A = this chain, B = another copy of it.
Amino acid sequence: MDAAEKILLIVLDGASDRPTYHGKTPFMDATMVHVDKLAKEGILGIMDVIAPGRPPGSDTAHLSLLGYDPCKIYTGRGPFEAAGVGIDVKPGDIAFRGNFATVRDGEVVDRRAGRIRDTHELVQAVQENLDLEAEFIFKESAGHRAAFVLRGENLSPHVTPSDPLHTGKMIEVRPTVDDAASRRTARILNEFTRKVFEILKNNTVNIDREKKGELPGNIVLLRGAGVVPHLQSFEDRWGLKSAVIAATALVIGIGKLTGMDFIPTDGATGGVDTNLTGKIENVNKALKNHDFVLLNIKGADESGHDGDFKKKATFLSRVDRALSNLEIDESMLISVTADHTTPISLREHAGDPVPLLIRGIGVRTDRQQKFDETTAALGGMNRIRGLDIMPTLIDLIGKGKKFGA
């Protein structure tokens, strides 16, 4: 075999970090026998997923990693969330992320309605009773989350969120651009806020919750407005039949919008309690009839946002153990990386480059033997950008597109 034929891209979401605990990062602290073996057999480098010092969102990061320039196509997170929860969004739709929340006397008292879990009946009540001046789609997502889509002419993503982003006084949506479409969209969203509250305030689910001393989900706060972009399919772009294995709506949504097969995993939660074994089993299966598989594992990011070093390092050790079940053969090119750095110290995304490894036939190996941030910086790849990784992987399987003759 002269080159690998298939690509497995493993994104350890938010796993990249800064040294905190005795000068170590979670990658350095974790036991990562299998990943380190890949590092030893392959080549390492560091990668600015967007640009040096620019903290990526998970959305812009994954777009970059898949070879779609977020600077050209990204207007907000809503479209990818909406696609991820199963809304059949269309280019031009205006999409939002939503939260069920609790409002009392015009004040948001809890942005997650007491972390309400089953919102199905509430969503149904809205679907059946809400009437707006534009066509819309409203759908529940995991826990307190939901997605909302406006469809039609004369709409705009240039509006402020209805979500105040912290507890306190409810706010009116305002246009951020002074044109008819933005003014109309703001008006529709304010109408949405008022009417949804009227529909939900006396819903039996909420009355029952209040009786039990739980917070009612009596309002839906929207944010992340974005236009659904027209994306070339991943297969048209790179010539590879592709699948995505992920738990979070956002990554699933990006996969769906780029025409990937989404392969669900029972027990995949997006948290540290996720079903890692199931995900790896799905990868093994998916690689039998796909040329490209994107595996996103989210738990490390959650630990980073929690500021919990031990939780993050322990989860990475678990990921490594699960990877012992990965069926590696020489037709595969494997790349392991993160979509962004989520330092324990910041509890938020940061712009540090992420470590990157590539292992497979024809890869120029280097002398590095461990997968962590500082070792990767000594690797033979040196430093590349997120948008460079797909062309690099495609080229390594012998499918690079020559420029010139």
**Which residues of A pack against B, CB within 8 Å?**
2-3, 18-20, 23, 25, 46, 50-61, 70, 74, 76-77, 224, 343, 345-346, 348-352, 361-367, 373-374, 377-385, 388, 390-396, 398, 400-405
Contact = CB atoms under 8 A, between A and B. Distances in A.
Contact of A346 (B2, B352, B401): B2
A54 B18 contact: no
Stoichiometry, as copies per complex, reads 2
Contacts of A398: 345-346, 348, 350
A367 B348 CA distance: 27
A71 to B, nearest CB: 8
A74 B74 CA distance: 30
A346 B74 CA distance: 36
Nearest to A71: B403
A52 B403 contact: no
Contacts of A392: 52-53, 351
Nearest to A376: B380
B2 A54 contact: no
A51 B60 CA distance: 21
Contact of A380 (B365, B374, B385): B374
A178 B279 CA distance: 50
Given A345-B2, A380-B378, A403 B364 contact: no
Given A74-B403, A351-B392, A364-B377, 17 more contacts: A18-B363, A19-B365, A53-B391, A53-B395, A54-B391, A54-B395, A55-B401, A57-B403, A61-B404, A70-B404, A345-B398, A349-B400, A351-B391, A377-B380, A377-B382, A382-B382, A383-B383
A401 B59 contact: no
Contacts of A23: 365
Contacts of A55: 395, 400-403
Contacts of A363: 18-19
Contacts of A70: 403-404
B74 A404 contact: yes
Contacts of A53: 388, 390-396, 400
A203 to B, nearest CB: 29
Contact of A51 (B348, B361, B374, B391): B391
A309 to B, nearest CB: 12
Contact of A395 (B350, B382, B383): B350
A21 to B, nearest CB: 12
A398 B346 CA distance: 7
A363 B378 CA distance: 16
A52 B388 contact: yes
Nearest to A25: B364
Contacts of A51: 388, 391
Contacts of A74: 403-404
In the A-B complex, list the 7 residue pairs whose CB atoms are closest, starting with the nearest: A57-B404, A53-B391, A60-B404, A53-B392, A351-B395, A52-B388, A382-B383
Contacts of A76: 405
Contacts of A391: 51-54, 351
